[in-house]
Amino acid sequence: MTPLPTVELELFKALEKTKLIQSKDTCNYSRCGRTDKGVSAMGQVSAFTVRSNLVPEDRLENGCKEYPSNKKIELDYVQILNGVLPTTIRVLAWSPVPDSFNARFSCKGRYYRYFFTNMDGELDIDAMRTAAGYFLGEHDFRNFCKLDVQKQITNFCRRIDRADIVPYEGVPANPGSKMWMLELQGTAFLWHQVRCMMAILFLVGQRLETPEIVRDLLDMQKYPTKPEYEMAYDIPLVLYDCLFDDLEWIYPEESSRARNKLLQDSFAIWHEYKLQETMSGLMCATISRTREIASGKQTDRKSGICTGEGQLKATKAYRNVAKRPRQEAFDIVNERYRKSAKYGQQQRKMEAKARSRGNGDTMEGIE
């Protein structure tokens, strides 16, 4: 069976093709976080033990204050990897890190953005802001995630440092844009957590739920198990940045060939999608017979739920979250998985992987 094309798969193909690593199992690989299929990452960070031009005593991560002559003495990891990666995957910078560094556990915070439109004021932005405010602080988010039985998670407490709904003017800036975004920053996130949070915010924005539904879902006395609801669309979500202490990111020099190529590739992608946006916008304006993009109104008797896809999900009648069926408790689901044959296979695979893990040459983080 051919593996699904993923950013991680393409990255390892590039690392092996350029002989920077021998294999995935021997390079001490770690990543800051995983993203769902369809979700983008602008500031993802991964760490590997890779080939180096420098002897150990001359490496920054081993206490050397600066490279012996200049930064060019080390391999140009950005140019090497971008030379073989697909143009939709770009390495922006790299940083030397100590052997103890782990891209996931050394991360101090993750910063997400979720984009959505509000064409005719159909979403109550003020209500969404009020609801988002209830996320701030440390809470149990079991009602805002999907349970990952393979990880056997029992602690669902996470801290949110920022949660706000703000206008997005775009690039280049367009003050009249009707695009908005959820800006979300926290220490760590559960599987599908941001999409679940956004799904409830959409219900609040449609005035189908009050902002206090967020506060109630964070109360384990009121909601000990998760009500059933559909997650928000994956495409508008982006892992925008990962926050670390004391990393010296090394970017391509301003006038270097590597930086110019990076900009050219990024511009080509932006240009293609900008043309598609322009053409599809022209079609909407032509059909609506105005100069404005029109989304169309709900004309049948069914109500619709906003999930961020651009079209409402049809439903016969809206049922409040409080009245919906509940999922099984996480401890019951976890216990059932521990008794399965798949769990035993997973444990044996992890043990074999731990035994085969070796030491490489030098540890690098890439963004």
Token pair, residue 316, equals 């016969």
List of residues 6+ apart from 64 with CB closer than 8 A: 57, 58
- Paired with 303 in beta bridges are 315
CB 185 within 8 A of CB 110: yes
Q: Output b/e per residue, 266-284; b: 16+ Cβ within 10 A.
A: eeeeeeeeeeeeeeeeeee
Q: Which of 25, 36, 126, 219 is catalytic?
A: 36
Among candidates 2, 99, 13, which has minimal Cα distance to 59?
Answer: 99
DSSP 49-104: EE--SS-GGG-GGGT-SS-SS-GGGS--HHHHHHTTS-TTS----EEE--TT--TT
Query: Is residue 213 packed enough to be buried (19+ CB in 10 Å), middle (13-18) or exposed (0-12)?
Result: buried
Cα–Cα distance for residue pair 267/264, rounded to 1 Å: 5
- 36 among known catalytic residues: yes
Residue pair 85/91 in contact (Cβ under 8 Å)? The answer is yes
- Residues annotated as catalytic are 36
